[in-house]
Amino acid sequence: MIAAALIAILFGMGLLLLRAFIGPTLYDRILAVNSFGTKTVLALGLLGFVMDRPEFLDIAITYALINFVSTIAILKFFRYRSFQVPLVRRGQGGNADG
């Protein structure tokens, strides 16, 4: 049963790689890479369970955090074309002067 779960995860990862390479838009590719990272976390957890190595769960959690932060950073970069905080323009709020 565990082997079937691992095969299903690996098959899903293959499909996600295909979507990442031929995705029609940039956001499809980013979503595919993020989902690939999530499946990697699942595979690490399953592998740690099979091999009776609980430290794999620590590695999986660390990888999940890195995956989340990097996805947010990539999306922010493609929205603002910079990693800096965007400035608030005059008349768009943020202060009482208007």
Q: For residue 97, is it within any domain?
A: no
| pLDDT at residue 30, rounded to an integer | 92
| pLDDT at residue 93, rounded to an integer | 57
**pTM recorded for the entire structure:** 0.76
Q: For residue 75, is it within any domain?
A: yes
Q: For residue 91, is it within any domain?
A: no
Question: How far is it, in rounded angstroms, from Cα 11 to Cα 13?
Answer: 5
Per-residue pLDDT band for 95 (boundaries 50, 70, 90) equals: low
Provide, rounded to the nearest whole percent, the portion of the chain with pLDDT above 70.
84
| pLDDT at residue 75, rounded to an integer | 87
Name the residue range of residue 63's domain: 2-80
Instruction: Count the neighbouring beta carbons within 10 Å of the beta carbon of residue 32.
Output: 19
Q: Give me the mean pLDDT over the 48-61 stretch.
A: 92
Cβ-based neighbours of 80, under 8 Å, separated by 6 or more:
86
CA nearest 38: which of 4, 66, 18?
66
Residue corresponding to tokens 């838009």: 25
Instruction: Please say whether the beta carbons of 68 and 87 come within 8 A.
Output: no
Q: For residue 86, is it within any domain?
A: no
